[in-house]
Structure formats: C-alpha cells, structure tokens
C-alpha cells in the first residue's frame, strides 16, 4: 500500500466510501476489468416463463454481488493489516466484474436489479465493518463462509437455469470459479473456519435474501 493511501484522513475515507456506495447501487456505473463470459455465447430464444425465471435467478446473483461489494468495502475500512486490506480490494474488483455482468444480463432479459439492494448493501456493509473490527482472522473467516454460501447458490442456479440460456450459464460458471477462489484465498490468508451454528445462521439469512430478491 502506498504512503498516500496510509495518509487518508477520515474525511477522505468518508468521501471514498460514499463514492463506492453510489457506484455500487447505481446502474451503468460499473466498469468491469474483464469482458463478460456471455459475450461469445449463443443468444437462444427463451419462452416467457423461462426468461422470467432466468431473470429472477440473475437478479438474485446481482443482489449477491451488491452484498459482496458492501462486505468487502466494510471490511476494507476496518481491517487492520495492509495486506488483508489489499486482498479485500482485489476481491472486490472481481466482484465488480460480476456486478456488471449480471446487470447487463438482466437488461438483456428485459428485467432490472432488486429494489431492495440498498437494504442488502447497508446490512452487508455493517456486518463487514464489524467483522473487520473483530480482527483479520474473523474478517477473513467471514469472507470464506460467505463465499461458500455463494458457491452453493451458484451451483444450484446452474441446475435451475434453462439449458438453452447459455449466456446466463456462462456468467454463473465464471462467477463460481471466482467465488471459490476467494474462499480459498481467505482461508489461506488466516481466516478461521466458522463453527456450524454460525454457518447455519448465515444459510438462513442468505435464503431470506435470495427468495426476496428473486421476486422484488
């Protein structure tokens, strides 16, 4: 991390975080570093019900990426070790790719992101910041546990998406690769493996978000 980054004042950090919030929640404000995996996939026709179902799943994925951005931004604000903070920022950039890919696919499916994204963002940011305060082992452990939940959802979506929706499937497949990598890196960096009760609580919470985002 540069000396300039270490010298950021509280006001600088507030302005930076405010900018990130606006970019995360505003459509068309995301600049992916990688092209969408869907770019080279066939655009096969979907029935009305298939398109609606695919849009619901991609809306869930988009909301998940909003949560991921908030989580990483919250942790990046409170993480104590510079190398951990940089790890959060690198992972967050990959989540920006996912966010942009899902948003583009939603538009192609004539749909839009969840109206509750600001709520998900606020909750996830608070949890991320609190995890960072507890210490880097807990912070990284929370990343690993969260990414594990995301991987389970993505795997389920690959089973549920219409077989001919190759564009959505290509996006989800690459997201699954990235999220699994984030989980491995978080554990390798010293993240703790959360006990089963905490994981069960996280599973219940994520199900509430996914069921709601699918429809709203």
Annotated binding site for Fe cation: 65, 95, 98, 147, 179, 182
Q: Please measure the distance between the N-terminal and C-terminal CA atoms of the chain and give it in whole angstroms.
A: 40
CA angle 107, 95, 186 (to 5 degrees): 155
User: Helix crossing, 136-160 with 117-134: angle to 10°?
Assistant: 140
In the annotated binding site, the residues are 65, 95, 98, 147, 179, 182
* Beta carbons within 10 angstroms of residue 22's beta carbon: 10
Q: How far is CA 115 from CA 22, 109, 121, in A?
A: 15, 17, 11
**Are the C-beta atoms of 88 and 79 separated by less than 8 Å?**
yes
């Amino acid at each position: 991390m540069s000396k300039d980054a270490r010298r950021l004042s509280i006001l600088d950090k507030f302005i930076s975080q405010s900018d990130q919030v606006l970019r995360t929640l505003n459509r068309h404000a995301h600049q992916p570093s990688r092209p969408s995996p869907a770019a080279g996939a066939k655009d096969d026709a979907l029935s009305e019900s298939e398109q609606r179902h695919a849009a619901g799943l991609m809306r869930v994925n988009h909301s998940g990426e909003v949560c991921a951005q908030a989580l990483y931004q919250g942790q990046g604000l409170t993480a104590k070790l510079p190398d951990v903070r940089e790890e959060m920022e690198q992972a967050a950039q990959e989540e920006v790719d996912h966010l942009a890919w899902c948003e583009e696919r939603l538009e192609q499916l004539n749909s839009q992101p969840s109206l509750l994204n600001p709520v998900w963002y606020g909750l996830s940011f608070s949890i991320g910041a609190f995890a960072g305060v507890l210490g880097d082992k807990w912070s990284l452990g929370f990343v690993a546990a969260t990414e594990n939940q995301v991987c389970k959802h993505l795997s389920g979506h690959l089973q549920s998406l219409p077989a001919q929706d190759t564009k959505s499937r290509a996006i989800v497949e690459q997201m699954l690769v990235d999220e699994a990598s984030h989980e491995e890196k978080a554990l390798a960096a010293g993240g703790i493996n959360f006990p089963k009760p905490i994981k069960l609580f996280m599973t219940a919470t994520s199900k509430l978000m996914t069921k709601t985002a699918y429809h709203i």
